[in-house]
Structure 1
Amino acid sequence: MHTTLQKYLRSLEPILLEDEARGGTDFKTACAARVKLVEDFERGLGPTCQERLQELNKNSPNNWLNDGIWLKKAYHEWRAPLIVNSNWWLALGDDDGIPTSVRYPASPVDRCAPWQIRRAAWLAHRVLDFKTRLDRQELYPDTTRTGLWFRHSALQAFNTCRIPQRECDRFPSRPTASDPDGHKILVMVADWMYAVEAIAPDGDPLSAAAIERRLRAIVSDVERRHERGERAVPLSVLTTDDRDRWADNLAHLLSLSPSNRAIFTTITNSAIAVSLDNYAYDLPESQRTSDPDLTAHLHNIRSGHSDRPGHNRWYDKAFTLIVEANARAGVLGEHSPVDALVPSIIADYAIVQGVDEAAFSSALDADVVLAQSGDVEGWERLDWVVDAKVEAECVEAARRAKAIVDNSDNDELVFDAYGVDWIKEARLPPDAYIQMALQLAWYRTRGEFTATYETALTRLFKHGRTETIRTLSTDSRAWVLAMADPSTSTDTRFALLQRALQTHSQLTREAATGRGIDRHLLGLRLMLRADAGERHALFEDELFARSQEWKLSTSGLSAGYQFRGTGCVHSLA
């Protein structure tokens, strides 16, 4: 505990230095006040909290953080909508086998297309094959060090769904191996929902060709419904809403009919979800970027079409494949079961091998979607019973989702002047180097520093999740200020950079090996018994909260060549 608290004090130094530089309390006085808080905690409630935490760990099957605290505090107690705020998303690379005329259509597309369906079937088959091989320990077996961490983590992405409840969400019990719903995938097209049998009773995934036939039949069914003038009630948009509101609406929805309960169980227990978008999203002229195709791709995976965000997605589902009419593909997932690196490894397995035409019985042509939509078995409609209240709530939820999406953005920067190889040749650590670049960019564009979050995976530990790397340090601040001072020499700047990189690398090692501070501080704070009147000024200090106000949140992703890069999210609040 003493070590954690001393590291915490060091992490406050750049914030206090910046406060002083901007006319706030002088550094020594502000530091002394925080040292006093820490010492008082160590002499008083601290040891008691530490003992309680150790006792909790002793009684936890895996670890104190993951078993009893992390899901609730990091995810399930938060009431904010999942769309934009929480869900992760991945843009998958193109399949070289898909014709250019399909990938880049000459005119707007407003219906599902043959290549879209084929790629969706292929990707679904590959993802389910990955799951089967994990189940059988043919991939990442428990006998390997990596397998001990990864196999458990990866299986959390399948056959589950976050369930909204007032105050705190939950996970359902996982389906048994013999549960028919666990062998299905949820398919969404134009806001209609379907279930497809995609896993055989023995656990093997159905062939890509078999899944394709069933997806074709569904698309044909949707088109016939459209021809009859039917339009789906966009129930899935309710999953984008405030969690308490969604919980209330779900309770009402389930009360309308037993069939609704059966549908919800199928959605919850299904292996994965597949969203077929009957359009190829294009950015509005006002949002054009240097690579409008990639930016449009990112926007659609994150939140759907800008005119109707949140449609045709079930945001509570842990793993959703999304394929547009031009065969662009991505993955969207609810964050609480697993961290984004894990599904990126699953997705990498799915796309590393492009669509194998030999796996399908026929070549594609323009009429194939409707021509082969006859008596295909293995799929069913999931048609909800709704009333006027549900329809009205969908309208309001869609309006709120659009407001969230309109108030956010995502874009990419492809930096090609040099890359990781050059950084390594310079004998500098690539991750730390990129983090320093982000610190410099933030300061140059905003004229100030901010607390910065970077993810460290704690994969060395059973059921380990993440720890925080506090990127903003006294050394990173000193280097950034030197870069902003034209009188500072190149040699001095480089020396300061090396020191900042060394500090960041040390923080990274500590976080990855269970010696970070943020999870420990969380545990200590939660060991206070509020019902007994226990509290401490350390955790009520405004600087304690400000040091965790991550206006810049970053994470690296490097599961395969398709995913290499660093993502950063920033808030203007």
Structure 2
Amino acid sequence: DTLQHVKDSKHIVVYHKGRYFKVWLYHDGRLLKPREIEQQIQRILDDDSEPQAGEEKLAALTAGDRVPWAKARQAYFSRGKNKQSLDAVEKAAFFVTLDDIEQGYRKEDPVRSLDVYAKSLMHGRCYDRWFDKSFTLIVFKNGRMGLNAEHSWADAPIVGHLWENVMATEYLELGYSEDGHCKGDTNQNIPIPTKLQWEIPEESLKILARKRQLLLKLSWSATCQKWPPILNSNCVKMKFKLLRVAKPLSSYFSLFKDMGKFSLTYEASMTRLFREGRTETVRSCTVESCNFVQTMEDPAESSEKKLKIFRVAAAKHQHLYRLAMTGAGIDRHLFCLYVVSKYLAVDSPFLKEVLSEPWRLSTSQTPQQHIDLKKNPEMLCCGGGFGPV
């Protein structure tokens, strides 16, 4: 795999009912306005053409094992129509899926509705998200939306902040007309979206079928559990502070209940105080957090004692976060030592042992930054998830 940087892109690719459409975002030298973009999307929704042979499940090649996709790409997508269409997808600003099902939070079944919503955003049907793109914007039939982002080009806060900006712009600035359309006028001079053309050979169809079965098994084994929204304008700040610490501590508690032991825990912290900073690891499974879990498990301990131990564990967790954010973490230094040892051809038993320890629990949090939730509590995002490879 290679990470490609496209200097500029003036189109997106939209997937709808098994078809791929190239949609230009510029007309007469300017970016399309919201009502014009809506017009282009409506043209796709009104298109009743059938998918070409193999087109519907083509994106399954981008999921799962990379080797079959690399071989198929070289054999079947390096020339002709397939190469032109693949270039259109890969050079698009981003990928859009217009899903034909409904998703979203339902008050009558809050937990399950969010679980299913999250799973759909994570993998969908395994062939309706282009997993090689920087991100896929997924729009469900009832207007609910979400993102599926590829991780190598950026960390979660980048995508989270992008999505916050989209939400704030749509909700607080652009708005909609009384009849539900985007504000502004349509423009019939804008060229209609172009259907991408494919010639999928029989052998490639067999590869798709095999990958589809494997991916279905993987998707069935994936579980998501979301907490329903519990915040209101009077308790947003207080509960955010509580949840930021309680969430990882509850994860250790769940792991201990499930496995009967503690484990090395990865928790991501941003290092954006530094120009080239991405993340640092918070090794948040500490003596204090273990003491908290064991105290919670002891029925003889009083509630006052449990609360006291919780506060000690929370203070330790916050301290580790501050160290990681300010460059005083551990793992990036260990990685630098590893790089230097490889450069100098030095065999380090210490590094070999430390870097081979398994991470059995991973957790990270991406708090909202741009939207004032005290003023707009209804804009609280459901959050996100991370599917480690």
TM class by shorter-chain length?
0.7 to 0.9
Map 1:158-197 → 2, pairs under 5 A: 169-176=1-8, 182-197=9-24
Identical residues among aligned pairs (%): 22
- Tell me the distance in 2 between the aligned counterparts of 1:351 and 1:569: 21
What is the one-letter code of the residue matched to 2:255? W
Residue deviations 1:248-288 (CA, integer Å, cap 9, x gap): 11112223x333222222222211211111233699xxxx9
* Matched position secondary structure for 2:31: coil
Alpha carbons 1:557, 1:565 under 8 Å: kept: no
CA distance in 2, matches of 1:187, 1:519: 39
Structure 1 match to 2:359: 549
Match status 1:511 vs 2:338 = no
1:450 matched to 2:273: no
Q: Which amino acid aligns with 2:33?
A: S
Supply the distance in 1 between the matched residues of 2:2 and 2:136 (Cα, whole angstroms).
Answer: 19
Aligned length: 369
* 1:105-144 correspondence to structure 2 within 5 Å: none
Which residue identity does 1:521 align to in structure 2?
Answer: L
The aligned residue for residue 317 of structure 1 is 133
Highest Rg: 1 or 2? 1
Q: Does 1:217 align with 2:43?
A: yes
User: Equivalent of 1:239, from 49, 59, 62?
Assistant: 62
SS at match of 2:138: strand
Q: Secondary structure at the match of 2:263?
A: coil
Distance in 2 of aligned mates of 1:523 and 1:243: 28
Equivalent AA in structure 1 for residue 156 of structure 2: A
Give the structure 2 partner of residue 408 of structure 1: 222
Q: Are the structure 2 counterparts of residues 417 and 198 from structure 1 closer, same or farther at C-alpha, using a change threshold of 3 Å? A: closer
Report the CA distance shift for 1:200/1:210 in structure 2 as closer, same or farther (over 3 A): same
**Change beyond 3 A, Cα 1:413–1:282:** closer
Which has the higher mean CA deviation after the structures are superposed, 506-515 or 340-349? 340-349
Are residues 1:394 and 2:203 paired?
no
Cα pair 1:282 1:293 within 8 Å, conserved: yes
Amino acid of the residue matched to residue 39 of structure 2?
R
Report the Cα distance in structure 1 between the residues aligned to 2:321 and 2:364, rounded to whole angstroms.
Answer: 13
Greater share of helix: 1
Q: Say whether the 8 Å CA contact 2:15–2:96 is kept in structure 1.
A: yes
Amino acid at match of 2:351: F
Residues 376-425 of structure 1: per-residue CA shift (max 9 Å, x gap): 6142111122211111111111111111101111121237499654458x
Alpha-carbon displacement from aligned partner over 1:328-359 (angstroms, at most 9, x marks no partner): 21111111111122222222222233451261
* One-letter code aligned to 2:55: A
One-letter amino acid matched to 1:196? V
Partner Cα distance (2:53, 2:204) in 1: 17
Alpha-carbon distance between aligned partners in 1 of 2:58 and 2:76, rounded to the nearest angstrom: 10
Secondary structure, counterpart of 1:528 in structure 2: helix
Question: Which residue of structure 2 lines up, in the alignment, with residue 502 of structure 1?
Answer: 315
Which whole-Å deviations, capped at 9, do the CAs of 1:307-341 have from their partners, x for residues lacking one? Answer: xx212211111122111222221111111111122
2:273 is paired with a residue whose SS is coil
**Match for residue 346 of structure 2?**
534
After superposition, the Cα gap between the structure-2 partners of 1:276 and 1:479, relative to the gap in structure 1 and judged at 3 Å, is: same
Distance of 1:514 and 1:433 partners within structure 2:
24
Distance (Å, rounded) in 2 between the aligned partners of 1:416 and 1:325: 26
User: Is the 2:164–2:368 Cα contact (8 Å) retained in structure 1?
Assistant: no
Q: Please say if residues 554 and 566 of structure 1, whose CA atoms lie closer than 8 Å, have aligned partners that are also in contact.
A: no
Change in 2 beyond 3 A, CA 1:231/1:430: closer
Deviation at 1:467, TM superposition (A): 0.8
- Considering only aligned residues, what root-mean-square deviation do their CA atoms show, in Å? 3.2
Contact 1:183 1:201 in 2 (8 A): no
Using the alignment, how far apart are the partners of 1:275 and 1:458 within structure 2?
32
C-alpha contact (below 8 Å) 1:457/1:467 kept by paired residues: yes
Q: 1:196 to 1:534 in 2, by over 3 A?
A: same
Letter in 1 for 2:93: A
**How do 1:363-512 residues align onto structure 2 when only pairs under 5 Å count?**
377-414=191-228, 416=230, 421-422=237-238, 431-512=244-325
* Alpha carbons 2:264, 2:361 under 8 Å: kept: yes
Measured against aligned partners, the alpha-carbon deviations of 1:43-96 in whole angstroms (never above 9, x if no partner) come to xxxxxxxxxxxxxxxxxxxxxxxxxxxxxxxxxxxxxxxxxxxxxxxxxxxxxx
Q: 1:340 aligns with which of 123, 131, 156?
A: 156
Q: Secondary structure, in 3 states, of the residue corresponding to 1:481? A: helix
What is the deviation of 1:446?
A: 3.8
Which residue type is aligned with residue 100 of structure 2? N
Matched, 1:292 2:112: yes
Matched residue, 2:376: none
CA contact (8 A) 2:11 2:92 kept: yes
CA change 1:326–1:416 in 2 (3 A) is closer
Q: Give the residue type in structure 2 aligned to 1:170.
A: T
The alpha-carbon distance between structure 1 residues 484 and 282, as it changes in their structure 2 partners (threshold 3 A), is: closer
Q: For the Cα contact (< 8 Å) 2:101–2:140, is it kept in 1?
A: yes
Q: C-alpha displacement at 1:491, in angstroms?
A: 4.1
Q: 1: CA distance between counterparts of 2:282 and 2:137?
A: 31
2:72 paired residue among 245, 249, 254: 249
Match of 1:186, SS state, is strand
Cα distance in 1 between the residues matched to 2:271 and 2:21? 38
Instruction: Tell me how far 1:183 sits from its aligned partner.
Output: 0.5
> Where in structure 1 are there 5+ consecutive unaligned residues?
1-168, 177-181, 363-371
Residue in structure 2 matched with residue 273 of structure 1 by the alignment: 95
| 1:535 match: secondary structure | coil
SS of 1:497's equivalent?
helix
Q: Which amino acid in the other structure matches residue 220 of structure 2?
A: D
What is aligned with 1:205?
31
Report if aligned partners of 1:452, 1:554 keep a CA contact under 8 Å in 2. no
SS at match of 2:280: strand
Counterparts in 2 of 1:385 and 1:289: CA distance versus 1, 3 Å: same
CA contact (8 A) 1:429 1:505 kept: no
TM-score, length-normalised on structure 1?
0.58
- The amino acid of 1:324's aligned partner reads F
